[in-house]
Amino acid sequence: MDIFSQQLINGLTYGSLLGFIALGYTMVYGILNLINFAHGDMVTLAAFLAITIAPLAVAAGTLAMIITLAAVVVSVCIIAILLEKIAYKPLRAAPRLSLIVSALGAGMVIKNAIMLIWGANPRIFPRNLFPAGLAKFSDISVSYLSVIILLLNILVMLTLYIFINKTRVGIAIKALSTDYSVAELMGVNVNNTVMIVFLIGGGVGALGGMLIGASYTTVTFSMGFDYGIKAFIAAILGGIGSIPGAMFGGLLLGLTYTFCSGYVSSAWANTVTYLLLIILLIFRPNGLFGRSLVQKV
C-alpha cells in the first residue's frame, strides 16, 4: 500500500509537470488550429532565465523565490507575445502548413539562442529557489517541491476554469475556439484574444520550465524537444483544445508511465504506456475531453 501511494505521488508530480506544458499547446491549438512547436523551447528558456535571475534576486532574501518566479513568468509572457506577433500573426491567413513551418523555425531560433547565450553544457538549476526538504508519512516521502507542484497544478486549473467561464475575455476565447469566423463577425477582438492566449500559455509553460529545473536539477538547451513531445501527447490525450483536458492528459500520461515502470517493467514502460494511449485513442479519437468534430460538407 505504501509503495502504491508513493507511486501515485510520483506519477501525479510528473504528470502535473507535463500538464503545465500541455496547456500551452492546447490553448493555441484551440484558437488557431496551430501546433506551436516553439512552445517546448519557451519552457526551456524559462528554466535558463531563472538560472540567470535567481542569483540576482537572492539579495532580496525570502522574497527571492517570488521575485524570480514573477520576473521569469513576465519575461516569457512578453517573449511569447513577441513570438506570436513576429512568427504567427503575419501568416494568420496563410495555409496551416506555412504556420507549422514558421513554428518549427521559431523553435530552432529560440533553442539556438539559448545555446549561444548559456552555452551547450548542461546547467545546474539554482537549489535555493524552492524550499528543499522532505515530508514523511510512515514509509512515504514527499518532497516539499512535489507538494508545491501539486498545489500549483490545482490552483492553475481552478483559476483558468473560472477565467474562461466567468470573464469576458475568457468567453471571447471560448467563442473563438468554437467558431473563429462567426466570433470575428460578432465583434470579438481577435488580435487581443490571441495575444492573451499566448500570454497564458507562455506564463504557465514558464512555471512548468522552472519546476522541471528545480525537480531534476540539470537543464540543457535541447530538453524542450523531449518534454515538448510528451506534453503534446498529453494534450492530444486530453483532447486538444480542451483546457481541463491538457491537465488531465498530463496526469494520465504521468500516472500510466509511473505505474508501468513500477508494476510492469521499467524496460517496457515507454512501449506499454504508448500502447495503452493508442488503445484509448481508438475508442475516444478526440481524447478525454475533446469535442467530436462534425464537419458539414
Which residues are at the interface with other proteins (CB under 8 A)? 3, 6-7, 10-11, 13-14, 115, 120-122, 124, 127, 134, 136, 141, 143, 212, 215-218, 220, 222, 226, 257-263, 266-267, 269-270
Which C-beta is closer to other proteins: that of 27 or that of 211?
Answer: 211
Query: Min. distance of Cβ 37 from other proteins in angstroms?
Result: 18
Which C-beta is closer to other proteins: that of 92 or that of 127?
Answer: 127
Query: Min. distance of Cβ 210 from other proteins in angstroms?
Result: 14
| Selection from 202, 34, 33 nearest residue 102 by Cα | 34
Which C-beta is closer to other proteins: that of 37 or that of 259?
Answer: 259
Tally of CB atoms within 10 A around 84: 25
Query: Min. distance of Cβ 234 from other proteins in angstroms?
Result: 14
Query: Whole-angstrom Cα distance, residue 156 to residue 116?
Result: 33
∠ at Cα 20 (58, 111), nearest 5°?
70
Which C-beta is closer to other proteins: that of 165 or that of 265?
Answer: 265
∠ at Cα 39 (97, 131), nearest 5°?
170
First vs last C-alpha separation in the chain = 54
Per 3-state DSSP, the chain is made up of helix, strand and coil in percentages (nearest 5) of 75, 5, 20
Dihedral, 182, 188, 191, 197 alpha carbons, nearest 10: -90
Strand ranges inside the chain, DSSP E = 123-124, 134-137, 140-143, 218-219
Query: Min. distance of Cβ 261 from other proteins in angstroms?
Result: 4
Upper half-sphere CA count for residue 257 (Cβ side, 13 Å): 19
Which C-beta is closer to other proteins: that of 98 or that of 270?
Answer: 270
Per the structure block, which three cell numbers stand in for 239? 483532447
Query: Min. distance of Cβ 265 from other proteins in angstroms?
Result: 8
Query: Min. distance of Cβ 58 from other proteins in angstroms?
Result: 18
Which C-beta is closer to other proteins: that of 75 or that of 215?
Answer: 215
Which C-beta is closer to other proteins: that of 176 or that of 212?
Answer: 212
Coil/strand/helix, residue 201: helix
Q: Say if residues 48 and 34 touch (Cβ distance below 8 Å).
A: no
Query: Min. distance of Cβ 291 from other proteins in angstroms?
Result: 32
